[in-house]
Amino acid sequence: MFNGWKTIIGLAIAAVPSLAALLGFNVSPDFETQALGTVDEVVTIGGLVLALYGRLVAQVPGWFAPKE
């Protein structure tokens, strides 16, 4: 589903400290670790929401499938 997007997000996060330093800002050494952890959490929550939505709208019998 997120085919290739995590790589692009990781590259963007890796580029932010260099760009910030170029512009004269100081970036915490822990920025990359914290930012990547946050991205992983957001992607995980998105996957959970998508899985729940898929289960709710599924046509096969399940916990929340409508009765015919």
**Calpha distance 15→9 (Å, rounded):** 10
35 pLDDT tier (thresholds 50, 70, 90): confident
Q: Would you kindly state where each structural domain of the chain is located, as residue ranges?
A: 5-57
| Per-residue model confidence (pLDDT) at position 65 | 60
How close are the terminal C-alpha atoms of the chain, in Å?
31
Q: Report the share of the chain in percent with pLDDT over 90.
A: 1
Crossing angle for the helix pair 31-57 and 5-22, to the nearest 10 degrees: 150
The residue whose two tokens read 């899985």 is 51
